[in-house]
Structure 1
Amino acid sequence: MGLKKLLYLQGVGAEFVSCSGDNIVTPEQDRIGILRCMLASAAQERCEPVMSAEQIDEKIYQLDAEPWTQRLPLFQHTRIDNPELSVFLPSDSDSRLTIELQLEGGEPFQLGIDTAKFAANPHIAKVTGHYHVDDCDYLHYRLLITQALLASDIYCGGSLQMSVLPDIGLGYHRVRIRDQAEFVEGQWLVAPVMSYQSGNTRSPSNSRLWGLSIQLFSLRSETQWGIGDFADLAALIELVANEGGSFIQLNPLHALDIANPQACSPYSPSDRRRLNPLYINFEMVPEYSQLFCDVEPNAAGATSSELAIKFKAIKRQVNRADWLDYQLVSLHKYRIFKLLYQQFIVAHVETNSARGQQFSLFITDNGDSLRQFCEQQLSDTVGLSEFSGLDSRFFAYLQFVAEQQLSQCQAQAKRLGMAIGLVRDMAVGVASNSVEVRADNSPFCQDASIGAPPDPFAPQGQNWGLTPFDPIALKHDGYQHFIQLLRSNMQSCGALRIDHVMSLLRLWWWPRSKELGNGAYVYYPLDVLLAIVCIESQRAQCLIIGEDLGLIPPEIVSKLAAAGVLSNDLFYFSKEGDGFTLPANYPADSLMMLANHDVPPLLAWWQADDLQLRRSIGLIDNDELLQSLISQREFDKQQLLKLLQAQGQFDGSDVNSIHYPELLKAWLAVTAAGNAHLFSVQLFDLVCDNQPINIPGTWLQYPNWQRRLALSLTELAADKQVQGLLLQLQTSRQQGVQSERETDAYARTHACTKANTTTTTSTHPNRTTSTPAHATSSLQPNGLPL
């Protein structure tokens, strides 16, 4: 019983429901293997193969019993609509309880209340649990703050307040309590009921927003240095805004492994709180123009004219290829970053200019996490020539510049009238050698990695090689790392997509050592994490989109919906039986996408190019399987055609007679008019590219995350086909709005007719009309209201 209880307390799951609906019991040896990973990381040493009964009991006491004796949780949360405060007191407590509250950004005050009132008045406090610890019974009280304030003596500034109650609003408040013991302190989060919703108002003018999804690195222009940058993003924002678009959906912009540029997956970052400096555009940096002002040789040993000629040659070299060479791009960009930094130090830091002061304030505001990031970056680049002679402030400077440029892009989007602007993406985890993991007191389990359990699509399971948060360490950290993570990713955007949002509830862990078994689900404090998401979302005025593809636990669906988190659907996977979902049935509170980075572009899907590519690199290991998949694809194409024909497209046509450009336009005409609040299409699909950005399960077999667009931004803006598709996209979304207006008008008319009928018939003295008390709104399969 002791071991089972410890596994439960550590959050190691015992069973789960598979994608086929089967209940899968996780073998105990696999659960114990995950437990050993947790305990080894917590102790920062190798865990013994077998825990003694005494060690198990000691750990259970720490996790289960000890919190009851400490009066207050280290961190607790409540909702603003019904604020409560948890305290733990001996059952025989009959003393004066002192509660000190330091409101976030407000004046401290103190409450004095007799604990005897708790039992006498359940409207002040309710008992929600009890525990016997060390010959003492403890009760868990939840103080109903409004009533408790009314029943308390309130002191502010040392004076007794007789009439004015403190205004306890949203925030991370500090609380201390004392009865006969010493003061105990904790953090009390008062959270909003929902995440930010203003940009999600489903009014007729704001119910069908559309945008483009892009991998920023893939953009091409004449001004960049081999990789899409923030200047390219600004140009695309102007193009999309002028066509009526409301947002640009981005890949994660996280900092990657600086010493290994070829490790370029944005979903395997080094620090999710920092930006990738390769996205900086040189010409947007104030120091860039200064490099060409001096006639004398500069720090690079060249005159300004020689430097300009050299830069032009480099730009021609790195812009030539259709596939990104990260090694080459990184080498050249960091050499120029070095020149910019040296110019910045002389012109702004040494003179203490306004820009230099902004930089100093940036470093101060970002505190320890930025310091550790910069120190680790400096350590990781020792021995690399392009970083020689630099100090740790160089890496802070790059973050300073990157954040400024990203902020300028979002400001431009809002200035041009975009309802949302940028939609950022936050990866679910970090690489094992990442700065986040190696930072002091990081709340990660370094002995495990995350992924997915075995299923029919991946019989061996999926191991993503990313390091997970340890739920116990996260709690002991007071969730500070998670809070920092959200704050940094909600900057300079109007919405944030949380990759694999199920991680707020659970993640599949693989032990890094094969000796420790085949993994298990580990559970997280969903309610706490969601409360933090809600308050940070409200403060940043940032919509939240939860990437909820794959195996979705039913217990998370309703809570995400109640918190106002939009779901994320992919057209390929949106099915009703064998056919594709009717656009009118798309979940209203969702982001509908044709595709994302893990599935083929529509052209590749239509031509089965993705299947042929997978066969050529060995992911499909025989021709029989290939033919079977091609047959299934032909069936799916028929289902797509059936959907389009049912919506008035391609009447009488067959699959083989359809030209792809016509298919793409018809697909936009039909699906963009659908019911989803947000609709996004990949820029790669608009330019009819058939090469995937990423093929899951590959590394060296395919150049993932290196594909560049076939057209430059200048060519894109002038391309008649792209212009026509954007016009079709805008038109279809407006038609969806008009359809909604007509539906609403019909519903209102129908309601009025029904009300008039009811008024007439209800005059009978024995007849009443009412809604049954048990009636609830209908739900779709994903738990969202119809």
Structure 2
Amino acid sequence: MALSNPVLYELAEAFGIATEFWDWKGRHTEIDDDTMIAILGSMDVDATDADRAQAALRTLHDRPWTRLLPPCVVMRSGAEQVVLAHVPHGAWVRLAVRLEDGGHREVPQIEHNVAPRLIDDVEIGEAAFQLPGDLPLGYHRLQATTEHGTEEVTLVVSPSFLGFPPAMGEKRVWGYATQLYSVRSEDSWGIGDLVDLADLAIWSGAEQFASFLLINPLHAAQPMPPIEPSPYLPASRRFVNPLYVRPEHIFEYSQLSETDRQRIGTVKQQLLETLAGEPLIMRNLIWPAKLAALRIIFGHGLRPARRMAFNDFLRREGRALTQFATWCALVNVHGVNWREWPAELQRPSSPEVAAFAQDNAEEIEFHAWIQWIADNQLRAAQSGARDAGMRVGVVSDLAVGVSDWSAEAWTYGNTFAQGVSVGAPPDHFNQTGQDWGQLPWRPDRLDDLAYAPFRTMVAGLLRHSGGMRVDHIMGLFRLWWIPAGMPATKGTYVRYNHEAMVGILALEAYRAGALIVGEDLGVVEPWVRDYLRERGILGTSIAWFETDGAGEPLPPEQWREYCLASVTTHDLPPTAGYLAKDHIRLQHRLGLLTESLETELAQAEREQQAFIAALRRGGFLTEDEPSTEDIVLALHRYLLATPARVLCATLPDAVGDRRTENQPGTVDEYPNWRVPLSHPDGHPMTMEELYTDERALRLAGVMNGFAVPPVEPRFEVERLAAD
């Protein structure tokens, strides 16, 4: 049903809200009044009747004229850009740039004949200035001087093209993708941790000749059980989940008394005995035990130089860390959902929160200390990866958003839209749509804040990473907003200033020398992929999804060069499970199919046989009666025939694991994000077993281009695809 009020169309256009879209089956769908009014309301726009909608539109049109300068200007290096300034009609204004390094550049005014506008009984004029294209990269200050003084706003100059990091040079690279929590060593606490990450990176680089290790988001979860298992529904994307800290690798552990080390050993032993035989990752049991150990170590204190380093970390992280640590302390007193706390504690700036912080200073310091420890262990993992010969190293993952109860929602308040959540419209694999339960940024508030929350988040993630995967990178362009109480099918798209957000992402990556991969799967506007390629940001290509216009497998030579190419992803089963059609049967059991089981199985069989035929035509599969592993290896040979510069193999594919990590469209109906890395028979695999796994050796041989796979779990043969 179309919108009933023409003003709603104008408001929708002004706020970047789609009034229509084409679904995955090519059907045209129009947005109705209920959805539009709810989404406008989430951005504090009252459009519940025609008069209110008209008043909101007038305010919106006048808003730029009430500001001397826009709150944030983002431009590309090498390209000039016009900036508009608004002053009382006839008044003078001068513009200059205060450069990040302390330099100063005047900005010339250009001819701009626009009639003044009456705002609150004052005639306001508009002047135009031409920013030069030779400004250096960085975060600068744009200064406007009038007879009343000087006003400054943020000016961001980003690379016009990012491309590959210098460490890659002109070479192709490959790496593993894994869910870190699933890869457990004999020394870990029942969950893969940052020490396991370092060890896994060393094995991948030194023994497998991989150049990167792509992991799930390590974002912070809530500091008390029940702990959200999804790494894509975090409490904070700026800070690290302390579950990933290894207590015994903290420096102060070595200085503990024998009694305290025994106390920690007892806690760990009791935990491991409790977890014995448990088939899943049990975060709610692991965290209290690990927390007890961390408190013992924290209580030991720091020697002077370590205290200096910790204090420096506190200074660098500043208010954001203090607020996050305060939120952690409050959660342990009042519960995980801050919206249910006493009203006076629901704003981080309230006097009552300040009083709580003063009374609980040691507890807040403890949670800040954990972040410092996590930062140190992350640094060690990336250092180990690079020392092991990895060109890129650890590649972090950035989730789309945070939950309604999150620390970010408490800290940033109305920077997030209220009364809506983020998801996805229906598609072939999720035919009822998805509601991810995440809060979306408000595009207008991000602009008001000069994108500071986004900037600090990206910079923090890249500090100890060689690259970053941006989950659902289309979220920098548009997101599917779903009003509270409505199904995912009743949502619509809301646009963001992609030029600003991609520009900031490119600038931070350039400074960090990092590789950026955008996950651009699902419903994507075709121009978005072209734009990302133009900016030198990689897309994502999954073998099963790469088809031509007739639905046949896309020939490898027609794949993109600027992409991370892989056979599967964490939202699908490992390839062995995919070939067995485990995902179809699982979706049937969970009631997620819109067609019959037989129809879906038949369709999956046709698609798989088409791909197997393509593998045979290309000479990638030669066996008459191939095993599942034969097909898995052939699919990865197929990847090597593409022009893609970055190739990825999943660790579950390397060991023959079949179980999927995540079934989209479910929460607890399937044990999402709780499945450990396992042998083909489903028995959990330790990292020590991984080191000697012959399947992994054979797959790495394929990824390295060996003519004959090695026969021992150590590469002692000459690489044919030498760097």
Q: TM-score range by the shorter chain?
A: 0.7 to 0.9
Cα distance, 1:34–1:440 mapped onto 2, change above 3 Å = closer
Q: 1:593 aligns with which of 543, 552, 566?
A: 566
Q: 2:371 aligns with which of 385, 396, 399?
A: 399
Question: 1:728 is matched with which residue?
Answer: 702
Q: 1:70 aligns with which of 67, 72, 79?
A: 67
Q: SS in structure 2 opposite 1:696?
A: coil
Q: Separation in 1 of the partners of 2:664 and 2:396?
A: 21
1:436–1:442 CA contact under 8 A, matched in 2: no
Cα distance, 1:58–1:536 mapped onto 2, change above 3 Å = farther
2:425–2:488 CA contact under 8 A, matched in 1: no
1:36 aligns with 2:41: yes
1:83–1:190 CA contact under 8 A, matched in 2: no
1:673–1:733 CA contact under 8 A, matched in 2: no
Cα distance, 1:338–1:112 mapped onto 2, change above 3 Å = closer
Question: 2:605 is matched with which residue?
Answer: 634
Q: 2:687 aligns with which of 692, 699, 713?
A: 713
Q: 1:80 aligns with which of 77, 82, 87?
A: 77
Q: 1:556 aligns with which of 504, 528, 533?
A: 528
Q: 1:356 aligns with which of 298, 307, 327?
A: 307
Question: 1:231 is matched with which residue?
Answer: 195
Q: 2:580 aligns with which of 586, 590, 607?
A: 607
Q: SS in structure 2 opposite 1:382?
A: helix
Q: Separation in 2 of the partners of 1:561 and 1:131?
A: 40
Greater C-alpha Rg: 1
Q: Separation in 1 of the partners of 2:373 and 2:162?
A: 30
2:564–2:646 CA contact under 8 A, matched in 1: yes
Q: 2:158 aligns with which of 185, 191, 213?
A: 191
Q: Equivalences for 1:691-770 in 2 at 5 Å?
A: 691-710=659-678, 711-731=685-705
1:255–1:271 CA contact under 8 A, matched in 2: yes
Kindly state the Cα deviation for residue 57 of structure 1 after the two structures are TM-superposed. 5.1
1:602–1:690 CA contact under 8 A, matched in 2: yes
Question: 2:349 is matched with which residue?
Answer: none
2:219–2:235 CA contact under 8 A, matched in 1: yes
Q: Separation in 1 of the partners of 2:488 and 2:460?
A: 35
Cα distance, 1:90–1:571 mapped onto 2, change above 3 Å = same
Q: SS in structure 2 opposite 1:177?
A: strand
- Please, which runs of 5 or more residues in structure 1 have no aligned partner? 41-46, 119-124, 147-166, 299-303, 742-786
Q: Separation in 1 of the partners of 2:610 and 2:198?
A: 38
Kindly state the Cα deviation for residue 379 of structure 1 after the two structures are TM-superposed. 0.9
Question: 1:142 is matched with which residue?
Answer: 129
Which 10-residue stretch deviates more, 315-324 or 500-509?
315-324
Q: SS in structure 1 opposite 2:154?
A: strand
Cα distance, 1:94–1:227 mapped onto 2, change above 3 Å = closer
1:678 aligns with 2:679: no
2:567–2:635 CA contact under 8 A, matched in 1: no
1:323–1:706 CA contact under 8 A, matched in 2: yes
Kindly state the Cα deviation for residue 328 of structure 1 after the two structures are TM-superposed. 0.9
Question: 2:292 is matched with which residue?
Answer: 335
Superposition RMSD in Å:
3.1
Kindly state the Cα deviation for residue 90 of structure 1 after the two structures are TM-superposed. 6.2
2:90–2:125 CA contact under 8 A, matched in 1: no
Question: 1:660 is matched with which residue?
Answer: 628
Which 10-residue stretch deviates more, 522-531 or 512-521?
512-521
Question: 1:472 is matched with which residue?
Answer: 444
1:443–1:481 CA contact under 8 A, matched in 2: no
Kindly state the Cα deviation for residue 529 of structure 1 after the two structures are TM-superposed. 1.3
Cα distance, 1:455–1:410 mapped onto 2, change above 3 Å = closer
2:576–2:629 CA contact under 8 A, matched in 1: no
Matched to 2:700, the amino acid is L
1:644–1:666 CA contact under 8 A, matched in 2: yes
Q: Separation in 1 of the partners of 2:253 and 2:721?
A: 51
Kindly state the Cα deviation for residue 30 of structure 1 after the two structures are TM-superposed. 2.2
Question: 1:749 is matched with which residue?
Answer: none
Cα distance, 1:181–1:734 mapped onto 2, change above 3 Å = farther
Cα distance, 1:725–1:565 mapped onto 2, change above 3 Å = same
Kindly state the Cα deviation for residue 459 of structure 1 after the two structures are TM-superposed. 4.8
Kindly state the Cα deviation for residue 672 of structure 1 after the two structures are TM-superposed. 3.0
Q: Separation in 2 of the partners of 1:424 and 1:174?
A: 30
Q: SS in structure 1 opposite 2:333?
A: coil
Q: 1:377 aligns with which of 328, 350, 354?
A: 328
Kindly state the Cα deviation for residue 515 of structure 1 after the two structures are TM-superposed. 11
Q: Separation in 1 of the partners of 2:623 and 2:217?
A: 43
Q: Separation in 1 of the partners of 2:481 and 2:406?
A: 18
1:448–1:511 CA contact under 8 A, matched in 2: yes
Question: 2:239 is matched with which residue?
Answer: 274
Q: SS in structure 1 opposite 2:390?
A: coil
1:425–1:498 CA contact under 8 A, matched in 2: yes
Which 10-residue stretch deviates more, 474-483 or 223-232?
474-483
Kindly state the Cα deviation for residue 733 of structure 1 after the two structures are TM-superposed. 11
Kindly state the Cα deviation for residue 309 of structure 1 after the two structures are TM-superposed. 4.9
2:556–2:638 CA contact under 8 A, matched in 1: yes
Question: 2:318 is matched with which residue?
Answer: 367
Which 10-residue stretch deviates more, 127-136 or 369-378?
127-136
Cα distance, 1:76–1:327 mapped onto 2, change above 3 Å = same
Cα distance, 1:362–1:634 mapped onto 2, change above 3 Å = same
Question: 1:537 is matched with which residue?
Answer: 509
Q: Separation in 2 of the partners of 1:375 and 1:733?
A: 57
Question: 1:757 is matched with which residue?
Answer: none
Cα distance, 1:127–1:28 mapped onto 2, change above 3 Å = farther
Question: 2:118 is matched with which residue?
Answer: 133
Q: Separation in 1 of the partners of 2:424 and 2:689?
A: 41
2:426–2:489 CA contact under 8 A, matched in 1: no
Kindly state the Cα deviation for residue 613 of structure 1 after the two structures are TM-superposed. 3.0
Cα distance, 1:618–1:580 mapped onto 2, change above 3 Å = same
Q: Equivalences for 1:349-498 in 2 at 5 Å?
A: 353-382=304-333, 391-455=363-427, 458-498=430-470
| TM-score of the aligned structures, taking structure 2 as reference length | 0.86
Cα distance, 1:317–1:730 mapped onto 2, change above 3 Å = farther
1:69–1:88 CA contact under 8 A, matched in 2: no
Cα distance, 1:704–1:339 mapped onto 2, change above 3 Å = same
Q: SS in structure 2 opposite 1:198?
A: coil
Which 10-residue stretch deviates more, 228-237 or 573-582?
573-582
Matched to 2:182, the amino acid is S
Kindly state the Cα deviation for residue 140 of structure 1 after the two structures are TM-superposed. 4.8
Kindly state the Cα deviation for residue 581 of structure 1 after the two structures are TM-superposed. 2.0
1:98 aligns with 2:94: yes
Kindly state the Cα deviation for residue 390 of structure 1 after the two structures are TM-superposed. 5.9
2:409–2:416 CA contact under 8 A, matched in 1: yes
- Please, which runs of 5 or more residues in structure 2 have no aligned partner? 1-5, 336-359, 679-684, 710-718
Matched to 1:267, the amino acid is Y
Kindly state the Cα deviation for residue 315 of structure 1 after the two structures are TM-superposed. 3.4
Matched to 1:133, the amino acid is L
Q: Separation in 1 of the partners of 2:438 and 2:113?
A: 38
Kindly state the Cα deviation for residue 671 of structure 1 after the two structures are TM-superposed. 2.4
Q: Equivalences for 1:233-312 in 2 at 5 Å?
A: 233-242=197-206, 243-291=208-256, 293-294=257-258, 297-298=259-260, 304-305=261-262, 307-309=264-266, 311-312=268-269
1:78–1:85 CA contact under 8 A, matched in 2: no
Identity %: 28
Q: Separation in 2 of the partners of 1:377 and 1:285?
A: 21
Alignment size in residue pairs: 675
Q: Separation in 1 of the partners of 2:620 and 2:528?
A: 38
Q: Separation in 2 of the partners of 1:718 and 1:128?
A: 73
